[in-house]
Amino acid sequence: MGKDPFNFMSLFWSDKKVVVTGGAGFLGQIVVSQLKAQGCQDIFIPRSKEYDLREKEAIIRMLKKADPDIILHLAAVVGGIGANQDNPGKFFYDNIMMGVQLIEEARLFGVKKLVAVGTICAYPKFTPVPFKEDDLWIGYPEETNAPYGLAKKMLLVQSQAYRQQYGFNSIFLLPVNLYGPADNFSPASSHVIPALIKKCVDAKKKGEASITVWGTGQASREFLYVDDAARGILMAAEKFDKSDPVNLGAGFEITIKELIDLIVELTGFTGKIIWDSSKPDGQPRRRLDTQRAYQEFGFKAQVAFREGLMKTIAWYEKAGV
């Protein structure tokens, strides 16, 4: 692995007041721990029970309480293909209301910078591979997650419009699928890596002869280790001041078939894989062009995929959630 630019104390964060929405979540916890490691003394994490970010009044209350210099908007209502199919209206409404009102109230409050974390689901279904940021508008997103993807994509439109009209400093990042220890392993809402790890580890423990996997295995994905994603977000927050969208990824592609073969190997599951081709594959291919992030603020993924998977599997085997 290369030299980590965050192995030093960045003076940038030491005097900043930072709000991290979604700061108690999978990605948010890593972002918060990295902020602390960078000497950030004043971090506010709005919890949904006290601050429902779909409500304008709650956002205003939060801003008055925290008085932030920077907002890192990581909060999202999100899930895998099944969860997206079951909750298209909720995923659209919750995500767009949180983001649009937060950006507006942050502008009115005088927040110096807002980082909006979007989603790879914003890309068109048949985006040329590797996905370049300039191709975001060449088609409609993959149907199973389009409402979620479009709700997040509107934050890019808002970011660009607000910079043009008001000079408001916000940026928009597009992380690819994240994974890592403490991911969401709930069968109802988990993404593909935790779902497959859970199936293999649980089946091995119970001595089951087979597991069933959605789709055909032909679709491809790209995955970014959660610590890398957090580092990329903080590097962008510190160094990037444009409203051009920026991909955060690892720059590789693996089919779901290859992924399950690797997870089977690393978990030691010896049973049969049954493919349920009646279930959707989702977007046919995903791999990001990661040049802009490197050129603009020096971000490059560092955790090798096999290494990240081994850490994630070890965490799940120990946690047994």
Q: What is the pLDDT of residue 187?
A: 84
pTM exceeds 0.75: yes
Q: What pLDDT digit, counting tens, does each position of 265-306 carry? A: 999 999 999 999 998 888 888 999 999 999 999 999 999 999
Strand 220-221 and strand 254-255: the pairing is antiparallel
Q: What pLDDT digit, counting tens, does each position of 99-144 carry? A: 999 999 999 999 999 999 999 999 999 999 999 999 999 999 999 8
Q: What is the pLDDT of residue 321?
A: 65
The domain limits of the chain are: 11-179+223-251+286-303
β-pair partners for 68? none
Residues in the chain: 321
List active site positions: 148
Q: What is the pLDDT of residue 5?
A: 47
CA angle 17, 18, 20 (to 5 degrees): 160
Q: What is the pLDDT of residue 85?
A: 84
Residue 249 in contact with residue 300, Cβ under 8 Å?
no
Q: What's the CATH superfamily of 11-179+223-251+286-303?
A: NAD(P)-binding Rossmann-like Domain (3.40.50.720)
Q: What is the pLDDT of residue 9?
A: 57
Radius of gyration of the chain (CA): 19
Q: What is the pLDDT of residue 262?
A: 97
Q: What is the pLDDT of residue 220?
A: 93
Quick one: tokens of 317?
């085997």
Q: What is the pLDDT of residue 190?
A: 82
CA angle 108, 114, 120 (to 5 degrees): 130
Maximum separation of any 2 CA atoms in the chain, in Å: 61
The gap from C-alpha 185 to its chain's centroid, in whole angstroms, comes to 15
pLDDT beneath 50: ranges in the chain: 1-8
β-pair partners for 129? none
Q: What is the pLDDT of residue 303?
A: 97
